[in-house]
């Protein structure tokens, strides 16, 4: 499904190499965890996989097709294939849960109440759809971010330290949700420091010495 070939990436200002000869292959049936020290490039790697960061050399193929290095040309690729949960969730705090989840859809399909109901039920927020983000807990905000990423039914869900800011009990609840998501057929690529989170995935990689090992 995903192939990265000989990726080389420099940090813009300093020209220091972040990735050198990085290779990665993910088949259709795997979910993987990515671990590595702070600053090793985990978030940058997710941005490349999402088609946001296109300033690298080497080849990125998704289902056999080359992902363009023109960010504008990647909008459709991302819309069709990729769901993203960023480290700080990027939710709109003055709007309610439902409005935030709708941001995951294109404008045309934003009023599809059936899909919103389904996804609220999946993430366990059916009763709270009109609550504002400023009025909910960190675990609930994480569920909203997951729902927003999943509502367009992406093939892959990229998650950047999805439980980093949560307590242990809430982490376990979110882990159960990730298991459900996987059972429903969405593949996960998760950056995580937590072995418990990594164990939800089929494989583990470490970003080390500018490569994925
Ligand atoms: N847009 C950017 N401009 C300059 N440096 C960046 C940028 N994004 C990331 N970096 C640098 O690249 C390195 C890797 O960052 P990041 O991918 O966020 O690592 P991680 O997620 O593993 O902690 C860091 O040294 C960071 O300072
Ligand atoms: Mg990071």
Ligand 1 pocket, residue 38 CB under 6 Å = yes
Examine residue 54 and state whether it is found in any structural domain, yes or no: yes
Q: Are 102 and 110 in contact (CB under 8 A)?
A: yes
Could you give the maximum distance between any two Cα atoms of the chain, in Å? 50
pLDDT tens by residue, the chain, 213 residues: 999 999 999 998 898 999 999 999 998 778 999 999 999 999 999 999 999 999 999 999 999 999 999 988 999 999 999 999 998 889 999 999 999 999 998 877 777 788 899 999 999 999 999 999 999 999 999 999 999 999 989 999 999 999 988 899 999 999 999 999 999 899 999 999 889 889 999 999 999 999 999
Atom nearest to 38 CA in ligand 1: 23
Examine residue 69 and state whether it is found in any structural domain, yes or no: no
**Given this model, what pLDDT does residue 165 score?**
86
174 with 134, same domain: the answer is no
Examine residue 58 and state whether it is found in any structural domain, yes or no: yes
The residue nearest atom 3 of ligand 1, judged by CA position, is: 12
The runs of H, that is alpha helices, within the chain are 42-49, 75-81, 97-102, 113-122, 138-150, 168-183, 195-198
**Given this model, what pLDDT does residue 29 score?**
76
**Given this model, what pLDDT does residue 115 score?**
87
Q: Are 147 and 125 in contact (CB under 8 A)?
A: yes
Residue range(s) defining the domain that contains residue 166? 1-63+154-213
What gap in Å lies between CA 199 and CA 49, rounded to an integer?
21
Cα(32) to centroid of ligand 1, in Å? Answer: 21
**Given this model, what pLDDT does residue 74 score?**
93
97 with 53, same domain: the answer is no
- Domain end among 111, 134, 153: 153
Examine residue 24 and state whether it is found in any structural domain, yes or no: yes
Ligand 1 pocket, residue 154 CB under 6 Å = no
Ligand 1 pocket, residue 39 CB under 6 Å = yes
200 closest CA partner among 192, 210, 211: 192
Examine residue 26 and state whether it is found in any structural domain, yes or no: yes
Examine residue 139 and state whether it is found in any structural domain, yes or no: yes
The count of structural domains within the chain is 2
- Domain end among 137, 153, 169: 153
**Given this model, what pLDDT does residue 169 score?**
92
113 with 148, same domain: the answer is yes
147 closest CA partner among 131, 124, 113, 128: 124
- Return the CATH number at 185: 3.40.50.300
139 with 164, same domain: the answer is no
Cα(39) to centroid of ligand 1, in Å? Answer: 6
Examine residue 78 and state whether it is found in any structural domain, yes or no: no
The residue nearest atom 27 of ligand 1, judged by CA position, is: 39
Cα(130) to centroid of ligand 2, in Å? Answer: 31
Enter the DSSP assignment of 96: B
Cα(117) to centroid of ligand 2, in Å? Answer: 32
């Amino acid at each position: 499904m995903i192939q990265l070939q000989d990726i080389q990436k420099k940090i813009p200002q300093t020209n220091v190499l972040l990735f050198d000869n990085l290779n990665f292959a993910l088949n259709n049936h795997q979910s993987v965890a990515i671990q590595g020290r702070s600053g090793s490039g985990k978030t940058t790697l997710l941005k490349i996989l999402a088609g946001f960061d296109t300033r690298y050399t080497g080849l990125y193929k998704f289902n056999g097709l080359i992902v363009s290095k023109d960010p504008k040309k990647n909008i459709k690729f991302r819309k069709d294939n990729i769901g993203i949960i960023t480290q700080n969730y990027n939710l709109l705090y003055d709007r309610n849960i439902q409005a935030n989840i709708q941001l995951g859809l294109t404008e045309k399909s934003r009023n599809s109440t059936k899909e919103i109901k389904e996804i609220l039920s999946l993430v366990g927020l059916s009763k709270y759809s009109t609550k504002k983000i400023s009025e909910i807990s960190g675990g609930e905000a994480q569920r909203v971010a997951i729902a927003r990423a999943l509502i367009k039914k992406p093939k892959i869900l990229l998650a950047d330290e999805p439980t980093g800011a949560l307590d242990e009990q809430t982490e376990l609840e979110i882990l159960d949700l990730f298991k459900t998501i996987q059972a429903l057929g969405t593949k996960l690529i998760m950056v995580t420091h937590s072995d418990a989170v990594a164990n939800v995935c089929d494989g583990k990689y470490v970003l080390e010495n500018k490569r994925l090992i």
